C-alpha cells in the first residue's frame, strides 16, 4: 500500500517541486496516463513521485533515454483503474497499456514494463508475429527473425533464459516453472512471456540502484524459494545477456535522438 515506506538506493534526484503525473507523462512521453476516480489527491501525489523515481531508476539501469521507457510514446499507463481480482498489476496488449492497482501494485513495475517491451519488440524483431504475440513467444515458435545486431542480442537473452547453457534443452528455470504449472493445473509460470519478465525482474533487482517500488521479490519470496526466478550461474548469465542488449539498445536510441535533433536544427535554420 502507498501508506508504507519504500526503500530506494540511488542517485539523489533533487526534485525542485512535487512531481505530478503530468510531469511523468511529459518526462517519458507516455501516450496517456489515466488515474482512477477512487484515487485521492494525496494518493495521487505520492504515487506520482514514487512512479517517477522508479522509472528514472529503470532508465538508469537500462542505460537508455526517456523514450525507451514509453516505447517511443506508444505506451499508456493506468493507476487505480481496471483492477482484476487477485492481480496487482497487468499489461494489456490490445491497448498497449500497463496498470497498477492502487493498493497492491508497488514492486510490479519492472515485470509489467517488460511485458510491454516484449510485446512492442515482436513487430520489430520478427516479420510474421501476430499482433498480440510477444517477442519471447515468437522466438520460441521460430517466427521469422529480422536480421539486425540488436535483434541478435535480444534472441540471445531469450535463449539464455529458456534453454540450458548448451542451448539444446530447456533451462532449469523452465523445468521448475513447468512442474509448478502442472501441480497448479494451468499454464502460467512456464509461458515464455512470464519466464522472461521474471528474469528481467531479477536483472533489475540485481542492479546497483535499488528501488522496491520498481521491483521486489526475486530473492526471498516463496516464488523465489521455489525456483521460479533464476538463480546462481544461470542468473549471472541472464544478467550479462540483458546488460549487453540494453547497452547497445541505449546507444542506438541516443544516436537516433541526436540525428533527429540535428535534422530539426537544420530545418529551423532553413526557414
| Element housing 226 (H / E) | helix 222-226
State how far the Cα of 269 lies from the Cα of 265, in Å rounded to an integer: 6
Helix and strand numbers (H, E) in the chain are 10, 6
Task: Name which residue leads in pLDDT, 268 or 178.
Answer: 178
pLDDT tens readout for residues 17-73 = 889 999 999 999 999 999 998 889 998 998 999 999 999 999 999 999 999 999 999
User: What does the pLDDT read at residue 87?
Assistant: 65
User: Degrees (nearest 5) of the Cα angle 170, 171, 173?
Assistant: 125
Of the ranges 4-13, 15-24, 158-167, which is most confident?
A: 158-167
Beta bridge partner(s), residue 126: 145
pLDDT tens for residues 178-230? Answer: 999 999 999 999 999 999 999 999 999 999 999 999 999 999 999 999 999 99
Radius of gyration of the chain (CA): 19
Three-state DSSP at 20 gives coil
Q: What is the pTM of this model?
A: 0.93
238: pLDDT strictly greater than 60: yes
Give me the pLDDT at residue 222, please.
94
Amino acid at each position: 500500500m502507498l501508506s508504507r515506506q519504500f526503500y530506494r538506493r540511488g542517485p539523489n534526484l533533487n526534485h525542485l517541486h512535487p512531481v505530478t503525473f503530468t510531469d511523468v507523462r511529459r518526462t517519458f512521453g507516455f501516450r496517456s496516463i489515466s488515474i482512477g476516480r477512487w484515487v485521492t489527491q494525496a494518493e495521487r501525489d505520492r504515487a506520482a513521485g514514487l512512479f517517477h523515481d522508479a522509472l528514472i531508476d529503470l532508465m538508469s539501469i537500462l542505460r537508455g533515454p526517456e523514450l525507451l521507457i514509453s516505447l517511443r510514446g506508444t505506451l499508456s499507463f493506468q493507476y487505480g483503474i481496471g483492477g482484476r481480482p487477485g492481480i496487482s498489476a497487468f499489461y494489456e496488449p490490445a491497448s498497449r497499456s500497463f496498470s497498477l492497482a492502487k493498493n497492491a501494485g508497488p514492486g510490479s513495475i519492472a515485470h509489467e514494463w517488460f511485458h510491454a517491451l516484449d510485446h512492442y519488440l515482436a513487430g520489430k524483431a520478427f516479420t510474421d508475429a501476430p499482433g498480440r504475440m510477444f517477442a519471447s513467444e515468437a522466438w520460441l515458435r521460430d517466427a521469422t527473425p529480422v536480421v539486425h545486431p540488436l535483434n541478435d542480442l535480444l534472441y540471445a537473452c531469450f535463449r539464455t533464459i529458456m534453454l540450458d547453457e548448451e542451448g539444446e534443452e530447456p533451462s532449469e528455470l523452465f523445468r521448475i516453472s513447468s512442474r509448478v504449472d502442472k501441480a497448479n493445473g494451468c499454464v502460467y509460470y512456464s509461458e515464455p512471456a512470464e519466464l522472461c519478465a521474471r528474469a528481467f525482474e531479477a536483472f533489475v533487482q540485481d542492479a546497483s540502484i535499488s528501488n522496491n517500488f520498481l521491483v521486489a521479490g526475486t530473492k526471498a519470496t516463496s516464488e523465489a524459494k521455489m525456483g521460479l526466478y533464476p538463480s546462481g550461474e544461470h542468473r549471472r548469465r541472464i544478467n550479462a545477456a540483458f546488460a549487453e542488449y540494453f547497452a547497445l539498445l541505449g546507444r542506438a536510441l541516443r544516436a537516433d535522438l541526436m540525428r533527429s535533433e540535428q535534422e530539426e536544427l537544420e530545418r529551423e535554420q532553413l526557414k
